[in-house]
Amino acid sequence: MQITTLKTLLDTLNYPVAYQRFRRAVDPPYIVFEFAYTNNFEADDTVYRVRPRYSVYLYTNLKDPEIEEQIEQLFQDNYIVWDKTETFLADEELTQIIYTIYER
């Protein structure tokens, strides 16, 4: 998956979306995503397939299962495998949901 493709998919959710950061402050809910790492398929000292992983961060004022369901359905509809973690950012008073995603 390319960064532009991921941005296009996330834009369909109709929330503000940015790669790594917004240039100006935006009100939650919003989504930030970035390249995280690769988990390549390799053998015989050769990389046969580069498998990039991305982190997608959802920020909300309060936990919002409806938005999470929208994101997860988007991933499901587009055959994107994901793992999910959650934390509360006390300094910013925001809930942060982190999806680590990759294609099958």
Q: What is the DSSP string of 39-64?
A: --EEETTEEEE--EEEEEEEEESS--
52-102 pLDDT per residue, tens: 899 999 999 999 999 999 999 999 999 999 999 999 999 999 999 999 998
Taking the whole predicted model, whether its pTM rises above 0.85 is answered as: yes
Pairwise CA distance, residues 52 & 29, whole Å: 26
